[in-house]
Structure 1
Amino acid sequence: MIEISHSKDTLNVLSVDFAKHNKPYDIRQRTRLPHYLIRLQTEGCAHVWNEDHYDRIEAGDLLLYKIDDVYELKIGFNNPYSNELLPKISSMDYFLMIQGTWVEDWWAAKDRNPVTPIRLDERLIMIWRQIIQEKRRIHDSMEEVLQYLTKAFFLMLDRLIDESNSSQAKSRYVPICNHMKYYIEQHATELFTLQQVADHASLSISRAGHLFKEVFGQTIMDYAIEVRISMACERIEYSKMTLEQIAELCGFQSYTYFHRTFKTRTGLSPSEYRDRTTHK
């Protein structure tokens, strides 16, 4: 067990890994957890005990169990009560078992549902893998690295949970709209079309645009411009590139269009923005 602390906060990373199952898995008894458990189903399905019944867990379902919660996991069963097996078993999940005052504070900051569907965000999975790799380093593990990775992981979890809970009425559309949103963020500096965004979500152009506007209150291209302007502001403030270079690198086809859009969005021209941020 690696115990890491910062000031009065402690994080005890007990176990962290991923598991792939192609055979039935059954804990066979319900136990009260002596630690916090975070588990994310990434492929296939499973069943977990929730108060007085089994919940079916699908890819994208996040499990949050606190100390003393009753936990039971079954994988590979079509019916967890009769133990009827699935014809084909393929399940994968990531898990983290942890203790510490920092996690206690994180848990207490909000209501935590035991099962929450979230977007399968590659950035979260990447941090999870880095925590796994750092935990496996026996002789040269750095406590500070593990601490910051773990805290970043929980903050990323909060963001994804907030996205999922943003609107109960729209919850069925949030995952697919977040999928489009992530595509826009990844390709904001490129010239992409509405068709490409819609294809990424396996939707028609009209359906993609309608759902995105319903969930986020803005159009797909409006959000793309918002991301590009945000990137431009950062580069104007922290780089020595010319404004023309910044416009091109941030996905604007011409400096004239960039100048007009930037001033409309920020109230300042790019040069005025640079002058103001340079002389803070």
Structure 2
Amino acid sequence: MGQIIKGKPVADAISQTLTKEVENLKVKGITPKLTLVRVGANGSDLAYERGALKRCSKIGIEAAVKELPEDVTQDRFVDELKKINEDKSVNGVMVFRPFPGQLDENVIKYIIAPEKDVDCFSPVNVAKVMEKDKTGFAPCTPSAVIEILKHYKIPVQGKRAVIIGRSMIVGKPMAMLLLNKNATVTICHSKTVDMPKICSEADILVVAIGRAKMIDSKYVKDGAVVVDVGINIDENGRICGDVNTEDCQPKTSMITPVPAGVGSVTSSILAQHIVKACKLQNNL
């Protein structure tokens, strides 16, 4: 029976380190600051926002929310983002996505200042992840997966890692981060032929497909580590992941739960990126 590996101990360890770093910055007269940019009041955005604000407050990071109406025009959105770019007191910006239809992500991603882009929206940071350039910022969710593997001392080098999902938010950057740790990486997606066979050869299986409890034990190799990134609502109205945990756990060595798994770590990674951005901007 696989060990359930929760996110809270990982998040708490990161936060403890960051609190000391922020205290040291404040001694120098520097307070790291985040601005969250949200359009409308989507429930999942609000839930993430509450977690991020709480985590920042606990660590000593200043945080503000720029809320824009659901029908905000592209011009106004761009103007507001440019103001935040130019505000020297702000070190990090996170923009909630997806956008409503009138906003063009392909335009906006070039507006956000790369040095403040703490969740890898800018193509500059995407390229830095590819280049293994440590001055860049990888997306918070795949970074949280890496921190969980590190915290629980799960070996990555030389291991066969399979990722289910190819989004720019999780799947593709996740592949690069694992590759940067010397894993042998395969990405599966909706057009993959015989996905259960490929997945069942993985030492580390990362699931980010967005379908409730889709992954059952036939996808899992005996002794594999399974990391469930999905957040869905099941038929009983409860939060669940993309993995059928009950069915898969007996075959795994370790498995993350949903809730209380990867999602618990993302706000700490966001805080980590804000502190890093603040240090880089202050040549520290």
TM-score between both structures, scaled by the size of structure 1: 0.25
Task: Write 1 or 2 for the structure with the bigger share of strand.
Answer: 1
Structure-2-length-normalised TM-score:
0.25
Larger RCO: 1 or 2 (CA < 8 Å, sep 6+) = 2
